[in-house]
Each structure stands twice: as C-alpha cells, then as structure tokens.
Amino acid sequence: MIFNTWSFALFMCLVCAGFWISPSGRWRQGFLAASGVFFFGYAYPPFLPLLLAVTLLTWWAAREAGRGRWMVALAGCVGVLAWFKYRHFFGAMAGGDWEAAYSKKIPMGLVPLGISFFTFEFVHYLVDVRMGRAAAGRLGPYMTFIFFFPSMVSGPIKRWQFFEAQRQQALAAGDVPWTEAGWRIAQGLFKKLVLADTFALLAKALADPAAASAGDLWKATFAYAVQILFDFSGYSDIAIGCGLLLGYRLPENFNFPYGRRNISEFWRNWHMSLSSWIRDYLFIPLGGSRTSRGRVIFNLAFVMAVCGLWHGAGLNFVAWGLWHGAGLVAWHAFRTWRGGRAPWPGAMVWDGLSRVATFLFVCVGWVFFAAPSLQAAFVALSKMGGLR
C-alpha cells in the first residue's frame, strides 16, 4: 500500500480506530504490531517469514548480548539486504558487465518492502544495545518498533530508545494532536501529488540527455531538485502525521535543506534521520574528523559512497555519493584552513554566494541520481558545461 492511495487511507482509518478503542497497554501494542505485520505482508506475503526471522534473530542476539551472537545477527541482517538488493549489481561488476553496472536497469527481482530502512534500524538496535546506549527490549515492544508501518516504506529511520520511551508514556486519545497530524498528512499529500508530480513532468529531459539541449537539461535539473525534495519530504510528512495519529512522534527528516551555506549544513537538514545514522554508525566509528587528514578524506568518501549505494544498486548512485563526499572533503579542508579567524570582509555577500554555490553543487549532483545510467549522467553534465 502506497501512502497516496485510497487503500492506504482506508487501512489507516481502520488501524487508528482499532488502536484507540483497544484497551491500553499490551492490547494496543499487539494490535499495532499486528497491523504492521499485515501491512508488510500485503505487499508480498512470502517475504513475511523472512522479516519475522530476522526480527527474532536481532531481538534474541541483543538480549543475549554475546559477541558471537551479536556478530551473527549483524551479519545476517546486512547479508539479507546485500542478497536482495545488491547481488545482481556486484555480480555484474564481478563478471565484467560494466554496461549493466553503470545502469539502473540491473534486474533486481522482488525486494522486501522497506528492506533498506529495516536493515538500518536492525543495525542501530544491535549496536546501541551492545554499546550500552539502549536497553534490550521485550519481544512485544520490539515487534511494535520494527513493524511500525508509518515509517516502514520511506522512513524516517527510528531509534529504539526514543520510540520505546513514547510507548511507555501511553498517551490517551485526548492527548493526540489531531489537528497537527491531519495538517502534516495533508501537507505531505500536497507535496507529493501536486508539487512533486508536477515538477516530475519538467524533469523528463534527464531521462534521455542525448536528445536534450543544454538549456533543457539545466531546467530539468532544477525541476528534479524540487521534485525529489517534495517527493521525499512529502512521504516523511505523511509518515509523521500517521505516527501522531497513533500516539508516536517520528523524527523530523527535512528542514529546508536548500539555501544552506555549505554542503555540511545541507546534510544536517536533508534526510536527517539518514544522515545522522550515517554519522553515528559509520563515520564516527571510522574515526570521524578527529584523525589524520588522509583518514578524514577516506572516511568522508567511504560513508558517502555507502550513502549513495544505499539509495540504489548502480554506479550512478555511488557517483552521486562520491560527489557529495568530495564536497564535504572540500568544505572540511576550507574550514580547517580558515580556522577560527574572523569572517572575510563583505560577509553578507560571501554568505549569499555560498548559499547559491551550495545549491548549484547539490543540483549538479542530482544529475547522477536522476539519469538512467552513469554514461547518461556524463552526457548531461558535459552538455550542461558547454563541452558538447
């Protein structure tokens, strides 16, 4: 069920009614977990036993807290993601089929609904319990956390300790911000159905750059930047609104990311639940920025390449991630060079120029994301740069 369908609207109404008329405590928790199980199974029932098995594995491993079991569970949930989403991609690369690897058209077959989001939440739970940042939960609450359907398809990526704290508060129906929830859902639907879908029509030139002019490609690039923002943030708004209807406040995901002063600020405000996950579970464990210059460059390039690959199995997504990694490296080097010195003369002018430059940098990166292949992205960029 996709958020912007009548079937989901009916499902959400039934779940909301059933949740609030259920007795509080375990009855509501069980009803919500069962609703999420149904939501996942509705997409493709044969995948349901697999997700239930991985859920039980990660719950058991966290409860036992043994290093060997923890590592097995971690490898298991990452391995499921790799098998379903990336085996054809890496197989094409290993077999020297670079034409397929460069393209988005690698046959992936059926992929479990929300597998990328599930995996990041599994990893977060295992790591935080292992590191003592969260307490292992009982099976019922953990099932509710994993199968919370509003965030299942497109996030935001939840954190167990904050979700569990809200469950324990057990809000009454009268405490739910019904108006805010309805507004967020309406706002998300408007973003998706009106804005994103309209700008998608203006971004079609990126699907076939060889047949488009440089001017058309620039227009399409800016249109795609608007489209993808409203597409992603629209789904997040709907998820947050649906979560509020069930007594849970999901993390915010987008905070006016365009117009920021540098690429680091952009990532602190774009897909925030993803960027914070990348920071906490990849970048900082690798040493973060508190290490040698060469290692910082590697860390930034590596985590952004993973970020790109997380979005899709194709070298164009890796190139998109590396593009942003290069921007973060450049910003880190510039900030280190400036140190704590006062702003340059004409700070207001510099501030405006930096915002424009950051926006243009992000927009150019979207070409890698939107083009059907890496070759097509290079054709588009060469035309846009006046090289063709």
Q: Are the C-beta atoms of 263 and 361 separated by less than 8 Å?
A: yes
Structural domain boundaries, residue 297:
255-388
What average pLDDT score do residues 53-75 get? 85
Last residue of a domain, which of 136, 159, 174?
174
Q: Are the C-beta atoms of 70 and 62 separated by less than 8 Å?
A: yes
- Is residue 87's pLDDT more than 90? no
Query: Which has more confidence, 377 or 102?
Result: 377
Token pair recorded at residue 197: 């879908």
Residues 161 and 264 in one domain: no
Question: Given this model, what pLDDT does residue 349 score?
Answer: 80
Token pair recorded at residue 162: 């904050």
What average pLDDT score do residues 134-144 get? 92
The rounded percent of the chain whose pLDDT value lies above 90 is: 69
* Residue tagged 């952009």 (tokens): 266
Q: Is residue 237 part of a domain?
A: no
Each residue's pLDDT tens digit, 178-228: 999 999 999 999 999 999 999 999 999 999 999 999 999 999 999 999 999
Q: Is residue 227 part of a domain?
A: no
Q: How many domains does the chain have?
A: 2
What average pLDDT score do residues 240-248 get? 95
Residues 38 and 144 in one domain: yes
Q: Is residue 217 part of a domain?
A: no
Nearest alpha carbon to residue 77 among 131, 128, 115, 133: 115
What average pLDDT score do residues 31-60 get? 93
Residues 143 and 283 in one domain: no
Residues 164 and 15 in one domain: yes
Active site residues: 311
318 C-beta neighbours (distance < 10 Å), count: 22
Phi and psi at 331, nearest 5°, equal: -65, -40
Residues 167 and 262 in one domain: no
Question: Given this model, what pLDDT does residue 344 score?
Answer: 57
Can you tell me whether residue 373 is helix, strand or coil?
strand
Residues 24 and 160 in one domain: yes
Question: Given this model, what pLDDT does residue 98 score?
Answer: 65
Q: Is residue 310 part of a domain?
A: yes
* Residue tagged 């590191």 (tokens): 131
Residues 143 and 281 in one domain: no
Question: Given this model, what pLDDT does residue 65 score?
Answer: 63
Query: Which has more confidence, 5 or 161?
Result: 161
Q: Is residue 204 part of a domain?
A: no
Can you tell me whether residue 137 is helix, strand or coil?
coil
User: Average pLDDT of the chain?
Assistant: 90
Token pair recorded at residue 166: 């809200």
Last residue of a domain, which of 174, 208, 225?
174
What average pLDDT score do residues 89-109 get? 67
- Is residue 99's pLDDT more than 80? no
Residues 149 and 262 in one domain: no
Q: Is residue 250 part of a domain?
A: no
CA distances from 52 to 103, 211, 331 (A): 33, 47, 43
Residues 42 and 167 in one domain: yes
Q: Is residue 185 part of a domain?
A: no
What average pLDDT score do residues 366-380 get? 93
Question: Given this model, what pLDDT does residue 67 score?
Answer: 62
- Is residue 277's pLDDT more than 60? yes
Question: Given this model, what pLDDT does residue 173 score?
Answer: 74
- Is residue 342's pLDDT more than 60? no
What average pLDDT score do residues 252-265 get? 94
- Residue 339 makes CB contacts below 8 A (sequence gap 6+) with none
* Residue tagged 């507004």 (tokens): 183
Name all contacts of 174-183 with Cβ < 8 Å and 24+ positions apart: 175/247, 176/244, 176/245, 176/247, 177/244, 178/245, 180/241, 180/244, 181/241, 181/242, 181/244, 181/245, 182/241, 183/241
Question: Given this model, what pLDDT does residue 89 score?
Answer: 83
Last residue of a domain, which of 154, 174, 194?
174
Among 137-146, 217-226, 338-347, 373-382, which stretch is predicted with the lowest mean pLDDT? 338-347
Among 105-109, 170-174, 252-256, 327-331, which stretch is predicted with the lowest mean pLDDT? 105-109
Q: Is residue 188 part of a domain?
A: no
Residues 43 and 147 in one domain: yes
